[in-house]
Structure 1
Amino acid sequence: MADPGKLAMLGGARAVARQDVTKELTGWPVVTEREHAALRGVLDGGLFTSNDAGRGEVSKLQTEWARYVGTRHCAAVSNGTAALELALAALDLEPGSEVLVPALTFVGSAVPVLQRGLKPVFVDIDPRTYTLDPVAAEKAVTDRTRAVIAVHLHGLPCDMTAIAALAEAHGLFVIEDAAQAQGATYQGRRTASLGHINAVSLNVVKNLPTCGEGGLVTTDDETLYERVVLHRQFGEDLTPGRDRDYLSRVLAGNEKLSAVQAAFTRCQLERLDADSAARDRVVRGFLGRLDALPGVVVPVCPEDRTHAWHILRLRFDPAAAGHPELSAGAFRAVVQRALRAEGVPVQPYQVVPLPGQQALRDVGADIEDFPVSLAVIDESVTLQRWHLNPACGPVLDRCATAFEKVWDQLDTLAPVIASARHRPPWQAAMNAGAAR
């Protein structure tokens, strides 16, 4: 029988056994009979698209989401990336205009900028919140800057007060990328209501999911809303109550959401607040145990906002852990291996800043200009998906036990870390991209 006190990577028993991780505890999204009935209702009702004259599931979702976040308008679209692209289209920025984008985020925050013929200007992140650094953003503004994309990375709202002040000072549009922050609040207001125009993803892994792909665009500006709707389906005016004329008024594609996706999300929206509250309780309990371990830097949540906890990023400080002689990157790499051996599925989230992505290198930025992003990537791991299920508490308890087990034996791991030949994650990623 394996020794439960011995590290699993050295032959001991896993702290998180496979049988401990059940679908009931960690599966996401949680699908109930409510979702099954809603989808059957779409199939029986026959209203399958957003062209539903205000009577179908898409129109109902738009109304409910606008009411939930507190905006006047909402347009449902095919996915979160389309939501950002249509938000930019609605702003009608001059080709070549610059848009500020955080250097550490998913590539989907930057691709729509290029799709609209605009230039992303990358900005480093804050080392505590991992969101856009307003001071760095101020330094990045030029006379061609027209907008800033505020990405609520991992579910924590950006410093929207500072971003709004920056926008006001320079005449910029603010676009919220709230793809990971559904249900979070900033100074009492919900995300997806804080910018001039706002985008949300409904991808199946998000806190507010659909059974596939989807997105939502919100705004208080009627003109921006009308432009989004115009660009959603071939530039056609599809005002309810008028016959379709098949006239394309602007060059646009087809970015509609289906009624099936909308019906599923409406069910999830009914439970969003309850799920968020339950998730907050179990995640804070988990992070409380990890925060007691010297050298584990847990996510922060300033008092003026709430956290959706979409992704949990855990950063490591070997000096605080009692090993100042060890490099932070090598420490992270070996601890990551040890935790995964214990059954904790920690992994990187984004292994290279956006300007290092092969598809974005022509933008002309050097990843060395983003030292905070580089350090965060090299020194941290993330926990994803498991904790989204509100019932995940028992599994997170076992994960916390695994962290404590590894920390009890850091002295055993120290020689391994010291002798490791460490390469930062972005080096392998960029070399692999170049080889292709």
Structure 2
Amino acid sequence: MAEAEIDYAAVFQALPGMVALLTPELVYVDVNEEFLRMAGRTREQLVGRYLFDVFPDNPGDPAATGARNLQASLQRVLATGERDTMALQRYDVESAERPGEWEERYWSPVNAAVLGPDGRVAVLVHRVEEVTELIKARGSRGGRTRVLEAELYTRARELQELNERLREAHAREREVALALQDAMLPAPGPFGHHRAAVRYQPAMGTLNVCGDWYDLVDLPGDRIGVAVGDVVGHGLHAACVMGLLRSALSAVSRVADGPAQALEVLGLYARSVEGAENTTVVETCIDWETHTITYSSAGHPPPALLRTDGTVEFLDKATDPPLGARPDHVARPQGTTPFTEGDTLVLYSDGLIERRREDIDTGLARLADALVHHRGADPEPLADALLLDLLPAVGATDDTALVIVRL
């Protein structure tokens, strides 16, 4: 017996709670019947309109925060892709029958993201429990109950204000971390006739400043060392650890006998730095005399080599665990690949390719396709094109470091 086909549109309309679907720009895409009934609006008054044009805060209440709190919750979901459950909100609504009159309403919202195939937020699910009648019914049972309800509402407001102050503190920490990263990640100097471009794109969330870094070092002969790394963790501490490791690798790469030995020394040093464990880093040495790239990776995504014939090779033949992942010292592997004049080497951190609930091979294929699509572009416009093509339009939750060298 064939299974009956489910009419999901009918199921959505019949859901017992208030549910609305929003675009990432917070425009109503669809609402169910219960939402229309409880909100006192028609479908035409909602679908296609900006959420806060339909439901702004009460202009007659200077202390109203419902719209601001809801917007903050929705932006968190856009930035992280994670569900956000809000505290009980007083969110007054203008009467549909009597414009200018505002009705006291209490809402308990939950916001969630639906991700598209590219890992970006495609739709926001905005579910609301209407608890106005419950609050009023409890308040009608006596003065003591009304006092308790008022106290609960006051405490909820105080908690929201505390959360705002915490976000401000984290925002200040983010500013300091970004300033440190800017100081540690300057634009590359000239490398003879060779052209290079670098980018550092911080995550969107105030809590998500990470420890990504890049480095370009002049070496004896017609050679340069290029590295990209990523410290585990977020915030100011991760940025400080990044500074220590970047400086150490920059120094050791000038005297080490190749990238593998440089990463071995860096790994030993990382054991003495709190928070440096499991840092990933890839080091390459470009030699224009021999037309070879020598490389070694400590758990980092593989560099991409875009060849002039339009093919892309990922340098993944010398990959080892991240720094400090092994209890004992073990020699790291090293690989070498030839290049021809006009090839392009791309090093990057995982923020460029990784997406939640997506296999890394999908991200690598997306990077290869973008490189082929923009082949022929100089390093500077190519760097901009890759960030535009590969990073989420909104809500990037990880930093991205990017280095492009025209060989």
Q: In terms of Rg, which structure is larger?
A: 2
Structure with greater helix share of residues: 1
Relative to its length, the structure with more strand (as a share) is 2
Q: Tell me whether the two structures share a fold, i.e. TM-score over 0.5.
A: no
| Structure with bigger RCO (C-alpha 8 Å, 6+ apart) | 1
TM-score of the two chains, using structure 2 as the length reference: 0.30
